[in-house]
């Protein structure tokens, strides 16, 4: 019995430790078991809720398994030639009605809390609009009047980049956001339904043509975070990654200055680059 306990606790510890060690920050890792590391309060909540449910389901499963074993061993036909005629047990029936209700309520309360936390967008510092196209993303920062398209790097371009981004995840024009700021993300589809998802931020929202969806994130750690289109949208669905760089306020300001020169658009969203202005003249 003691031996069994040692083996079980060793196995559980191995799974927990490896899950944590292998979970990637902002990107998936080989042999990853758990969720990607959380970089926003929403994702921290999701990870907590996920682990909480895992405990609940594990305890329930072991309890039901124990009941089954007891029934098989103690109440089989061989041991009970004359079956018991008991049909009701008021206390037992009350217990098996009320205990599940208590369990469900204890799941529902944090679940609804999380849902409202995700669904209520706080006062945003920055708004980014992400438009899903077949098969890339267009991002605009309406307040800064910039707009650009973000396309996946192919193998050749990836090899040239330093450091090379993970395969199928790096893009030519990533989104930049400052750390600790609330970012409102408006998401829409230009052609078919796409889905804007960044696992470390705990966001995933459909990009539907003709309907503006909204979500938000507040990244609390600097770094590079990857996501992917998460709605089957056609032949290159797997090749429209999302890359978000969370940087310091100064680095963001520097990027924004540069971006305003490169990606400027006018109020109607038409390009206002130097080249385009030249053509008009």
CA distance 181 to 196: 19
Count of residues that bind Cu ion according to CB under 5 A = 3
Is residue 149 within 8 Å of residue 138, measured between CB atoms? yes
Q: Which stretch binds Cu ion (CB under 5 A): 42-50, 54-62, 227-235, 267-275?
A: 227-235
CA distance 142 to 131: 13
Instruction: Provide the minimum distance between the beta carbon of 237 and Cu ion in the complex, in angstroms, as a whole number.
Output: 5
Applying CB under 5 A, which part among 26-34, 162-170, 231-239, 262-270 lies near Cu ion? 231-239
Cβ-based nearer residue to Cu ion, 150 or 218: 150
Binding status of residue 129 toward Cu ion by CB under 5 A? no
CA dist 198 → 25, 229, 250 (Å): 11, 9, 24
- What's the token pair of residue 12? 């559980």
Q: Is there binding between residue 194 and Cu ion (CB under 5 A)?
A: yes
130 belongs to the binding site for Cu ion (CB under 5 A): no
The answer to whether residue 23 forms part of the interface with Cu ion (CB under 5 A) is: no
Q: Which one, 201 or 252, has the nearer CB to Cu ion?
A: 201
Give the HSE-up count for residue 144: Cα atoms under 13 Å, Cβ half-sphere: 26
**Which is it for strands 175-178 and 126-133: parallel, antiparallel or unpaired?**
unpaired
Nearer to Cu ion by C-beta: 42 or 233? Answer: 233
Q: Is the bond preceding residue 163 a cis peptide, omega within 30 degrees?
A: yes
- The one segment of 22-30, 161-169, 221-229, 252-260 that binds Cu ion by CB under 5 A: 221-229
Positions in 48-67 near Cu ion (CB under 5 A): none
Of the two residues 38 and 233, which places its CB atom closer to Cu ion in the complex?
Answer: 233
Q: Which of 175, 177, 198, 229 binds Cu ion (CB under 5 A)?
A: 229
Both tokens assigned to 187 = 């998401």
Structure tokens at 133: 């196209």
**Closer residue to Cu ion in complex, CB, 229/265:** 229
Interacting positions 24-53 with Cu ion (CB under 5 A): none
Q: Which helix (H) or strand (E) holds 176?
A: strand 175-178
Give the binding range for Cu ion (CB under 5 A) out of 9-17, 114-122, 160-168, 194-202.
194-202
Q: Per DSSP, what are the bridge partners of residue 205?
A: 196
Would you say 100 or 234 has its CB closer to Cu ion?
A: 234
Binding region for Cu ion (CB under 5 A) out of 39-47, 117-125, 186-194, 259-267: 186-194
Distance CA(188)–CA(206), nearest Å, equals 8
List the Cα angle 47/48/49 in 5-degree steps: 90
Min dist CB 216 to Cu ion, Å, is: 21
Angle at 249 between CA 246 and CA 252, to 5 degrees: 65
Q: Based on CB atoms, which residue is closest to Cu ion, 165 or 189?
A: 189
Using CB under 5 A, pick the residue from 146, 187, 224, 233 that binds Cu ion. Answer: 233
Nearest residue to 20 (alpha-carbon basis) of 30, 10, 32:
32
The runs of H, that is alpha helices, within 90-231 are 90-119, 155-160
Q: How far is the CB of 10 from Cu ion (least distance, A)?
A: 43
Interacting residues toward Cu ion by CB under 5 A: 194, 229, 233
């Amino acid at each position: 019995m003691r031996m069994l306990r040692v083996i079980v606790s060793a196995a559980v510890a191995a799974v927990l430790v490896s899950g944590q060690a292998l979970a990637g920050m902002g990107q998936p890792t080989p042999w990853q078991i758990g969720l990607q590391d959380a970089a926003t309060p929403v994702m921290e909540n999701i990870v907590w809720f996920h682990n909480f449910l895992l405990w609940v389901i594990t305890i329930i499963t072991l309890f039901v398994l124990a009941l089954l074993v007891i029934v098989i061993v103690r109440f089989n036909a061989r041991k009970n030639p004359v079956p018991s005629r008991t049909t009701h047990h008021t206390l037992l029936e009350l217990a098996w009605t009320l205990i599940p209700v208590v369990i469900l309520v204890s799941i529902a309360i944090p679940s609804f809390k999380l849902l409202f936390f995700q669904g209520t967008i706080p006062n945003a510092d920055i708004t980014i609009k992400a438009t899903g196209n077949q098969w890339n993303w267009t991002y605009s920062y309406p307040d800064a009047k910039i707009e650009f398209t973000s396309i996946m790097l192919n193998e050749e371009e990836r090899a040239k980049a330093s450091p090379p981004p993970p395969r199928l995840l790096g893009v030519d024009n990533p989104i930049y956001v400052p750390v600790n700021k609330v970012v409102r993300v408006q998401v829409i589809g230009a052609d078919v339904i796409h889905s804007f998802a960044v696992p470390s931020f705990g966001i995933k929202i459909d990009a539907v043509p003709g309907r503006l969806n909204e979500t938000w994130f507040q990244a609390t750690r600097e770094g590079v975070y990857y996501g992917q289109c998460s709605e089957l949208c056609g032949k290159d669905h797997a090749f429209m990654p999302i890359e978000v760089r969370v940087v310091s306020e100064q680095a963001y300001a520097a990027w924004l200055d540069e971006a305003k020169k490169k990606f400027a658009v006018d109020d109607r969203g038409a390009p206002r680059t130097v080249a385009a202005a030249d053509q008009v003249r």
